[in-house]
Amino acid sequence: MASPSRPSPPKSSPKISLEDSQSFSDLRRLLLAPEQTELEQLKGRLEQFTLQPHDVGRVLPDAIRLRAKQDSRLLASMIPITQEALSLSIKQSPQLISDSIAPILGPAIRKAIARAMRGMIQSMNQTLEYSMSWKGLQWRLEAFRTGKSFAEVVLLHTLLFRVEQVFLIHKKTGLLLNHVVAEGVSGQGEEVISGMLTAIQDFVRDSFGQKQEDGLESLRIGDLTVWIEQGSGAILAGVIRGAPPIELREVFQETLETIHAQFSELLQAFKGDVTAFGDTRLSLEDCLQAQFEKKSKGLPIMFWILLGLVLLGLGMWAVQARSDHQRWAQLLERVGQEPGLVVTSVQEQGSKSIFYGLRDPLAINPEQILSEFGYSFEQAEFRLNPFMDLTPEFVHKRAMSQLRLPTSVVVSWEDATLVLAGEASHSWIQQTQLLGPLMPGVTQIQMEELVDTDLKQFETLKAKLEGNTVSFGLGKSSITQDQQSALLSLAETIRDMDQMAMVLHISPQIHIQGFSSPDGDRKLNQALSLQRAKSVLNVLMNRSFQAITFRVEGMGPSSSTQALSSMGSGESLGRLVGFRVLLAPDRASESRP
């Protein structure tokens, strides 16, 4: 028989266990939740740690101050960064930097320049004052003998006192803070001198049982005096040549007080770094004073010599300037009056004067005008454009140039009319008739008073030919030996007429007229007169003529009296041959002007 089974545990038991666990977790969360949250945040910050700017900013000023007190490594590391930052700032904002340092540098620069100018002028005045005097000549000899400069010798003889060097010494350590030297004085061993002064003061103080505040006030070494001013933190010592006035003490004292007022903290905290005391230089330079002997006499001879030279130079300059001005004015007047030149403006280009305007090609070369007044091309120059001057003078010049006027022709110009008078060749007259009206300023040419020399010569030959006759015997028409010789001479005259006719472009015709006496049969006389003319023509035709033609005419006895009268012959019987030269009406008119 089967044993009865054990009763199973109640189903609610696991449920109670889960609820209890959940409750325990809730309780733990309630009790430990804030701490767990903070731990989680702290763990996250540790795992992802980053340094925030605001965290550094809270401790940076104190950290820099504490680190700087330990040593100078921080300052040394910051110098390049500071320099680069300053350089960048100057490049980006130069005006801002300039405005910032101007109030400091401006007065310092002016003060330094004024001090240098005073020293230079004082030295120059001393040198000039004695340069040409008797004492100055002696000093020049001394300078030559000793090898020193004249200015140095004058300084030595006229100097009352001069502060040559000034030392600023730290009182406790005896170290030299700054040092200035007068111009022309060589400063050597400044550190040694500073240490020596400190040692001397300590020796005197210890030897005579003086207090620490007490000290030396002056030392004298040859012609040099050392004045010492004591301060709470620094000592001012000045090396003086000559006999200084007591007022100089006040200058030293005021300078030392000014330095103590400006650098009191640096003097108290001084540990050997003298770079911070470089700004004391301007105050120390105020102590570099000097005073020279004043000459009681009047102005030196050198002054009057220089004044005379200056006045002479000014006078010569004034005379030269006046001469140059007059010469320039005369040049301008000459250029303005010169025909064919028109100057519109004169401009200065550096040291050179440029004339702009117009010039007729027939006008004078303007460079000749410049040379007449002594001006070179480097001083003045003409830049002129060409133009035609229509004044009578240049119309006449242009006619002389273009028409190539013979010396026998006279030209005048009246109301745009070119008037020609005198004598000229036929070809020149014809050329002038063509070219004359084309010249600028000429509207017409008047030639009534102009003689054509070629036509005149032709007329002379014509008159010569017409004045000759050939006489025949009673009933004769043949040419004798004597008549032939005379006709050959007439042929030369006709040849000359032919050449002149070619020049004149005319074709003259010579009429050979035969005459007979009135005695006898009329018809026979008519035929005899014609035969006589032909006989003469036969002799003349042995020559060739290009422009002249001949015509024979038998005039008979009826016209003998009239013909003889017109030819002016003295032959009463009329047995002769005469000549008449005729021109064609159109060609004859062309031959005359």
For the stretch 401-422, pLDDT in tens is 777 778 888 877 777 777 888 8
- Contact (CB, 8 A) for 545 and 465: no
Torsion of CA 266, 268, 269, 270, to 10 degrees: 70
Residue 460 within a domain: no
Average pLDDT over residues 219-243: 84
Predicted TM-score (pTM) of the model is 0.39
- Contact (CB, 8 A) for 74 and 68: yes
Give me the numbers of helices (H) and strands (E) for the chain, helices first please.
18, 16
User: Cα–Cα distance between 377 and 371 in angstroms, integer?
Assistant: 9
- Contact (CB, 8 A) for 169 and 137: no
Task: Give me the pLDDT at residue 102, please.
Answer: 60
Question: Cβ neighbours of residue 590 under 8 Å, at least 6 residues apart?
Answer: 505, 506
Task: Give me the pLDDT at residue 587, please.
Answer: 42
Average pLDDT over residues 442-463: 84
Same domain, 140 and 263: yes
The number of folded domains in the chain is: 4
- In 3D, which of 381, 336, 325 has the Cα closest to residue 355? 381
Between 136 and 217, the more confident residue is: 217
Average pLDDT over residues 161-189: 82
In sequence order, which ranges of 378-480 are alpha helices (DSSP H)?
392-402, 426-435, 453-466
Between 469 and 152, the more confident residue is: 469
CA distance to 135, 137, 321, 407, per residue, from 306 (Å): 19, 17, 22, 68
| Domain boundary pick from 334, 357, 382 | 382
Which CATH number characterizes residue 197's domain?
Answer: 3.30.450.70
Same domain, 254 and 401: no
Same domain, 425 and 492: no
User: What would the pLDDT profile of 241-255 be if each residue is shown by its tens digit?
Assistant: 888 888 888 888 899
Tokens representing 507 are 């074709």
| Domain boundary pick from 334, 361, 382 | 382
Same domain, 286 and 346: no
Task: Give me the pLDDT at residue 574, please.
Answer: 73
Angle between helices 94-131 and 73-92 (to 10 degrees): 90
Q: Is the pLDDT of residue 571 over 70?
A: no
Question: Cβ neighbours of residue 93 under 8 Å, at least 6 residues apart?
Answer: none
- In 3D, which of 248, 229, 232 has the Cα closest to residue 161? 248
Average pLDDT over residues 98-119: 62
Tell me which of 179-193, 201-215, 423-437, 513-527 is least confident.
Answer: 201-215
Same domain, 526 and 474: yes
Domain ranges, residue 403: 392-450
In our burial notation (b when 16+ CB lie closer than 10 A, e otherwise), range 322-351 reads eeeeeeeeebeeebeeeebbbbeeeeeeee
